[in-house]
Structure formats: C-alpha cells, structure tokens
Structure 1
C-alpha cells in the first residue's frame, strides 16, 4: 500500500476516534425521576370550646374616695393621732387642735342664755299679772301690750343664744379632725405645734380608699353600642386589669372587676369614650395612679372552633389553612370570626380536623408531609450529692 494512502487512512481513524471521544464526553445524561420527599410539619387539632371575647385598653387606677384633710377652724395642731401609711376607718380621730378659745366662747354663750332665760321668766310672770289686771282695767291696754312684746323679744333673744351655743359647739367639733372615709393615710405635710388656717390649701395629709377601687379607661367610640348592652345586662360585664400588656401570665393579673359607668359624652378630639370599672382590692394589687391594661368581656361564643393564630394563613383574597389528609395536605378557605394573641375563632373546618401549625411556607395543595412530634421536655440533670 502506498505510504500516502496509509497516512490518509490513519488520519481518518484518528479523527473518528477523536469524534467518538468528544461525543461520549458530551453525551446528555438522561434525567432520573427523584422520589418525592415528605415535608416535615407540625400539626394541631381544631378544638371546639366556649370562648369569651375581649376588648382591651389602657387605664389608670383611681380611688373611689380620696380626701385631703384640712382644718375647718384656725388653731394650733396639738396632736397627730395617726401615722403615715396607717389604715383608718370612717369616724376615727386623726388630729386635734387647740380648743381653749372656742370652749371659752361656748361658756360665754351659755351664760348669756342663762341670763336671758332669767329675764324671760320674770317677764312671763309679769305678763300673767298684767293679764289678770287688764280684766278690771287695773293696767292699761298699752302696758299689757308692751309686756307681751317684751316677752316675745326675750324669747327670741333666748333662741338666738341657743343658736349661738350650737354654732360654737360645731366650731368645737372642728377641733377634733376625724376621717370622713375608710382608707390609708398618706404622707403628712405638717407637724404638731404648727398653726393651721382654714385658708391653707395643702392640708395635713390625705386619706385614700383602697378597697374597693376603680379603673378608668378609654375605648373607641365604635364600642358604644356594645358597652350600652353590657351596662343594661342583668349581670355586670367582667373586667380584668393586668400589669403591662402581657395578659397571658398569671402573675400579671391584678384584679377582677365589673363595668359600672359609661361617660355621658364622647371626646370629639380623640373619638373615644371614657369607661369606669370597679374592683375588689383586698390584696391591694391595684394602687391609685397606677397604669394598667384593661380587658373587658364583650361576648361569649359557645361551641366555637378555635385554633392557634399561626395556623391561619393569609392569601390574596381570603384566609386559608392546610388540612392534613393521610400523608398529603389540602388548602381549605376559612373565615376568621375573632382573633386575639392566644387563639383564633374560624369557620370552614370541623372540630377534630388536623391542621398544619408550622412549616406552611414549603407547602402547596397536594404536598406530601411528615408530621413531627413535639420535642420531649428538657430534663435538667440533678447535681451530684456531696
């Protein structure tokens, strides 16, 4: 075979081998069908139960009776009979003022009354005598009439003396300052020995009622029809007061009360209406001036279908939930009838339905799921005994 022909054949073989190698390396890999992977999720069941509906607001604690104790007569404070922070009852003696001047005036008024009564007694005896003499014209009609006028004058003077005694007795009672309400004594502003005047505006101290106590708060004006229904209800609406916004903690609950009053006008500037509730405060958890979160029960839904808030998803035009059917899920449209931080009341599902509560971001209708169990609670290892 000629050399040139061998060279051509060899080159052709080399090109064929190279082309086969290139085709083999660039050969498309046929796709392999991957087995579907289950998406891990956590689930809850729809629970049917009675649910109380609440509306909340921020309120301030107010005493039902808070009185600043002021003197009603001028005088020296001789003795304070209570201490700061002491609990007193209505009528208890709180302080005494110097009463010597008023007692002297009382004795003087009584002496004037006794003197006038003696003059009145003599005038009445003379009137009887003139009346008998006037029958036989022993005295003139004018003399008799003058004696009648004198008796009436002395009688009126005696009544005036008696009124002066009573007025002085009232002034004397003001020297003993008594508590008008049952409550707690505040911080005092004066000490024994100070001269007190009626015009003093500061007062001695205050007495504030703590139990029962009130909470005043504001709600939107749209709540007015509901509040009016609650006021007219046979049983007062329940109201709860919490410390801060966390109403789920049992330690945050300060007291349970009831609705008592709706203000007679709406604040046009804020569009709110003031409401007042009364609380029993035997444990003194509520304190005047304290800011609290108030929850008022507005309704009670019986046999309501409830789920945790994270179960309900928001779609483009409606809410929906993922319901587990066997190993797959389906999308179910629902209506949210009521919601708060702890639960949602919904319609469109049945009691006992299993709904996805965690892992919805990877789901779509028909997705295969794997239900995860709740993690076991952490148990702290006990320290070795020495």
Structure 2
C-alpha cells in the first residue's frame, strides 16, 4: 500500500517536465522565425557582456561623380624624343707632307675663324721650288716674245720675196712650241704654289680647336693627326622618331612649319628641322632626324644629351577633355555630360589626338561638364551627385573651370 503514493509522485514530476518542454518550444520558435524574416529581435548580451548593435540596413543612392570641363584651346601635335648634340662640321687636321713643325699658332680650346693659320711647317724647300718655277716662267716668256718678233719680220720679208715662205713657217712652229712651253711653266708654278700651301695648315671652317697633339720642333709625318676643329655655332641635335610620325614630318617640312625645341636643364632652346634620313631603320622602326640650333652662347655641346620636342602642327580651337573621362565601347567612344538638372547624358565622341592626361575629341561644343570619376555602370539619364573632393585638381588637369 505504501508504493502507490510513490508512483503518483513520479507521474506528476514527468507531467511537469513535459509541460516545461512544450512551453520552451512554443516560446522559442516564434523568436527564431522573426529573426529569419529580418525583423529585429531583442538584443542579446555577447560573450564579453556587451550588447551587439543591430546591422545598418542597406539602401540604394544617387551615384556620386566628379566633373571636369570640356575646354576649347589650341593644341600642338608633338613628338618627343631623346637626342644627342652633334656638330655640323668636325675636321681632323692632318698634314700632307712630312716636315719639321716650326710654329703652333693656336691654343687648345681656342675658337678660330675659317682660314685661320693653325700650324706652320718648314717651307724652305717649297719656296726654293717656287722661285725656280717663277724664274723658268719669266725666261720662257721672254723667249716667246723674241720668237714672236722674229716671226712677224719673217712674214714681212716673205711678202717682199726676200726669204722663202718655208722659213717663215718654221718660225711660226717655234712660236707655237714656245707658247706650249710657257703653259707648262705656268702649271709648274701653280704646282709649286700648292706644295708651299701644304706647309701652312689653316682651319677649313670656323670652330673650336680640340687637343693639340704636337709641339714646335717636332717632325710631323704626312697624314698624322695634329688637332681637330669642331663647328659649334650653329649646331645640330640628332634623334630618332617612330616611323608613324614620318608623314607628319614630311608634310611639315614641305610647309616649313616644323618647329623643334631642345630641353636642357631648365632652358628651352628653339630650332628648326634640317634633315630627315632617306630610309627607315627596319629593325627599330624609327627614322633619324636632325634639327639645327643657333648656339652663339654655347649652351649646346657636342655629345650632350637633350630632350627634343617636335611640333608638327597646331590644332586650332580644339575641344579638350580629360582622357579618363572617355569610355571606350565596341560601337565607339563616349563621355557622360552633366547638365543643370544633374542628369548624366552620354555623348558620342571621336578621339582625334591624345597627349598626356588629355585628349582632343570631336562631338562636343566645348563648355560641357564631363564626368571624370564615378562613370562606371552609369545609365543614360541617371541622376548624379557631384563630389567636390579633389575637384580643383581635376579642373586644373583639364585646364579650365566647372563654373
């Protein structure tokens, strides 16, 4: 009889546990369902004891863009290349004869005019030969004069039948022979003068004397290098340009409008195109070009490295936009312009010339506000917001104002 109350107690405990489990399930499932549907639930304490903040809801917004102006201005079409300064004339001074060097008339590094005396060689032998040739010429000239007088008298006597005609003809032959001998004497005299000129070595052109390799009293051998004379003013810059620029170079040269500038440190020198090579280098795909510069102040020096810029032509009143604003698509290029209504509108353009961060385009009138940054995934007519951060930099790059 005592076991019966124990069973009743156990049954009561089991029933109470079942009710507790049913209540937990009934109360917990709605909370999970709310969390799954995105409805915010009560914040629960984290492991650190802090309450986690609810996540911010995502929202769509108006795209933010930065603008730059489409400007009208003159744009020069230029080619840039690295060049080397080369002289128009460099002459190596070498003697024609082996002689004793008697005097050096120049110093190293001296600027000389064309025809200036540089070196003097021992000329005693050449002067003696010249004197002998001059004396021979005078003697033969006198002999010719005597023969001409005799021939004239013989003609008068032959006409009066005092001498035979054959005698007069013989004198005529002697006169003609003497004239030929006189011409030979004149040639010998000129030859002696040439030999004498070899003993006075002169500058073939104006320029600067390089290192002098001999001194007075030295015996110089024929064809031995004595010094060099390099023309400094005017001077040239030699450089190569891609063969794609050949047509513009030729057209500009015909029109006489190809200007060349050489950048040397902080100085820009102006010159003119003087030479285009007759063939393109097939290996490098380039062509050699030279430009001539006035160099009275000797800023340019042979062998010097300079940066050259060639202006082929100038595009007048062209529309210029930042290169970053151009969107390239299979059907062509376009830019997005923004009006007063803050709507982005596509404008088809054609790139005519790109230079640096800018490009010359057709299809715009100039003055439009062009989207430079934030143009990704824009749709025609989309509303935009203008971000003024770094706006001054973009305007400066475009060379204008957004106002």
Instruction: Bin the TM-score by the shorter chain.
Output: 0.7 to 0.9
Matched, 1:15 2:21: yes
Query: Shift of the alpha carbon at 1:26?
Result: 6.8
Q: Is 1:64 paired with 2:88? A: yes
Contact 2:274 2:292 survives alignment (8 Å): yes
Shift of 1:53: 1.2
**What do the CA deviations read for 1:307-365 (whole angstroms, capped 9, x no partner)?**
333343555665454545679673735432211224211344452333344x5487745
Q: Secondary structure of the residue that 1:259 maps to in structure 2? A: strand
Q: Does 1:240 align with 2:264?
A: no
Alignment pair present for 1:51 and 2:58? no
Please show how residues 194-205 of structure 1 align to structure 2 within 5 Å. Answer: 194-198=218-222, 200=223, 203-205=225-227
Paired with 2:95 and 2:88, the residues of 1 have a C-alpha distance of: 22
Greater CA radius of gyration, 1 or 2?
A: 2
Q: 1:116 aligns with which of 102, 116, 140?
A: 140
Unaligned runs of 5+ in 2: 1-7, 41-55, 394-403
| Structure 1: distance between partners of 2:155 and 2:362 | 102
Aligned CA RMSD, in angstroms, stands at 3.7
* Alpha-carbon distance in 2 for matches of 1:58, 1:150: 73
Distance apart, 1:161 and its partner CA: 2.2
Which one is further off, 13-22 or 80-89? 13-22
CA change 1:375–1:267 in 2 (3 A) is closer
Q: For each residue in 1:60-88, what CA deviation from the matched residue of structure 2 results, as whole angstroms up to 9, or x when unmatched?
A: 44322222222234422222222222222
Q: 1:283 to 1:374 in 2, by over 3 A?
A: farther
Deviation at 1:169, TM superposition (A): 2.0
Structure 2 equivalent of residue 278 of structure 1? 292
In 2, Cα distance between the equivalents of 1:296 and 1:327? Answer: 44
Q: Which residue of 1 aligns with 2:53?
A: none
Report the Cα distance in structure 2 between the residues aligned to 1:196 and 1:321, rounded to whole angstroms.
76
Equivalence for 2:389: 372
* Residue 30 (1) aligns with residue 39 (2): yes
1:231 aligns with 2:237: no
- Which of 198, 201, 211 pairs up with 2:233? 211
What residue number does 1:78 align with? 102
* Paired position in structure 1 for 2:397: none
1:112-167 CA-to-partner distances (Å, cap 9, x unmatched) read: 22333443444445445544544554444444333333333333333322332232
Shift, 1:51, TM fit: 0.7
Aligned residue in 2 for 1:382: none
Whole-Å separation in 1 of the counterparts to 2:322 and 2:225: 55
Q: TM-score if structure 2 supplies the norm length?
A: 0.74
Which structure 2 residues correspond to residues 138-287 of structure 1 after superposition, within 5 A?
138-198=162-222, 200=223, 203-233=225-255, 235-242=256-263, 251=265, 254-268=268-282, 270-287=284-301
Structure 1 residue 96: Cα displacement: 1.7
Q: Do structure 1's residue 335 and structure 2's residue 350 form an aligned pair?
A: yes
Structure 1 residue 102 displacement after superposition = 0.7
Distance in 2, Cα, partners of 1:158 & 1:335: 82
**Contact kept in structure 2, 1:322 and 1:329, CA below 8 Å:** no
In the alignment, the residues of structure 2 paired with residue 95 and residue 41 of structure 1 have an alpha-carbon distance, to the nearest angstrom, of 76
Distance 1:300 1:90 in 2: 40
Q: CA deviation at 1:103?
A: 0.7
How many corresponding residue pairs? 364
Structure 1, gaps ≥5 residues long: 244-250, 377-386
Q: Contact 1:320–1:331 (CA<8 Å) still a contact in 2?
A: no
* Cα contact 1:46–1:305 (8 A) shared by 2: yes
Distance in 2 between residues matched to 1:136 and 1:105, nearest whole Å? 47
Q: Distance in 2 between matches of 1:195 and 1:214?
A: 37
